[in-house]
Amino acid sequence: MRLKGNRFVIIGRAGMDFYPDPPGTKTEEATRFFSCLGGSSANIGVAIVKLGGKADLVTCVSDDAIGRFALNELDRYGIGRQHVRRVGGEARTSLAVVETRIEDHQSVIYRNGAADFEMTAADVEAVDYNAYDALITTGTVFAAEPSRSAAFRGFELAKAAGLPLIFDIDYRPYSWPSAAVAAEVYSRAGAMCDVIVGNDVEFGFMAGDYEGGLDMARDLVAKGAKLAVYKMGEKGAVTITQDGEITTGIYPTQALKPTGAGDSFMGGFVSGLAAGQAVREAVLQGSAAAAMVVARVGCAPAMPTRGELEAFLSAQSAPAPA
C-alpha cells in the first residue's frame, strides 16, 4: 500500500503528561515532575512532523491553563491546530501521570469530563479533506458522544474525498460505558477503514474472544481493508495484506518505560507508507521508532527525528520474527 503524500489530518485528543522526575521515581514519592504534550493523537502528530510530514489535529481542549498548555505544545512541535476548538464550562483537558520505570509501572489517567469528547459534527465538517493524503484516528474518539458521531461523520467526509482511513484501535476501557458498547463501535469503525493497527489484546477484544484476534485482523482485510497490523509485543507483528502476510520482529532496546510505543509505531509506519516504502519496511520503521521511544523519557519529546531514526536503522539489522 502507498499513500499519495505525507499530509495527515488526525482526529483525536491532545493532553498534558506529567512524569515523576528523576526517571525511576514512583509517583507517590515524587517531589518534581516533568511536563510535556500528551494524548495519543497529538503524539502521533508529533511523530509524523518530526519525520518530515505534516499533521493537523481535530479535537477540543478546555479553555483554561491546561488547554492552553496543550495548544502551546502543538505550536512548538509544528502541528496544525486550526481545527482545535476551546470549550468552557466543566470540560477538562486530559492529564496523565506516567512513570518512567518498567518494574511496577504506574499510569494514572484523569479523563473526568474530558474536553475532547465535546467534539461535534461541525468540527469535522469544517475540515477541507482535499488538503490531506490520509485521515488517522485513535479509538478513544469513539468512546462518548458527541465525539463518537463526529468521528464517524469525519470518516464519511474523508472517504468521500478519497482519503484512506487509518485506525489505531487504542482501546482504553476506562473511557467506555461498557465493553459490549466498545466492541460494537470498534467493529463498525474497523469495517470502514483501510488500515487498522492494534495489538493482540485489542484485536481480540474486537473479536469478542482474545484467542480470535488474529482471525479478526484477517477478516477485516478479507472484507475490504488494505492491511491490518497485528502487534504481539516482544513477539513482533503479523501484517495482513490483500497479497499475503508479513511477519516481523522487534528491535532490541533498553526500555525505560512501557508507554509511547504504539503512538511512535504509528508515526513511523505511516511516514514510511507516505515515503513509498514497501509495507514490510514501513512496519520495521514503525518498530524502530517504538524501540527508540520506550528507551527515552516522555512520549512526544521522545519521538525520533528523521536523522535519529535513520541512524538507528543503519546500525541495526532487521530483527528476525520471534
Q: Are 151 and 11 in contact (CB under 8 A)?
A: yes
Q: Is residue 104 part of a domain?
A: no
pLDDT in tens, the chain (322 residues): 779 999 999 999 999 999 999 999 999 999 999 999 999 999 999 999 999 999 999 999 999 999 999 999 999 999 999 999 999 999 999 999 999 999 999 999 999 999 999 999 999 999 999 999 999 999 999 999 999 999 999 999 999 999 999 999 999 888 888 888 998 999 999 999 999 999 999 999 888 888 899 999 999 999 999 999 999 999 999 999 999 999 999 999 999 999 999 999 999 999 999 999 999 999 999 999 999 999 999 999 999 999 999 999 999 888 888 7
Q: Is residue 276 part of a domain?
A: yes
Q: Is residue 140 part of a domain?
A: yes
Give the Å distances, CA to CA, from 236 to 53, 177, 271, 292, 321. Answer: 26, 31, 19, 15, 6
Q: Is residue 87 part of a domain?
A: no
Q: Is residue 110 part of a domain?
A: no
Q: What is the CATH number of the domain that holds 239?
A: 3.40.1190.20
Q: Is residue 299 part of a domain?
A: yes
Domains identified in the chain, total number: 1
Q: Is residue 80 part of a domain?
A: no
Q: Is residue 155 part of a domain?
A: yes
Question: What's the domain range around 219?
Answer: 7-13+39-59+117-314
What's the predicted TM-score (pTM) here?
0.97
**What does DSSP say about strands 227-231 and 7-11: parallel, antiparallel, or unpaired?**
unpaired
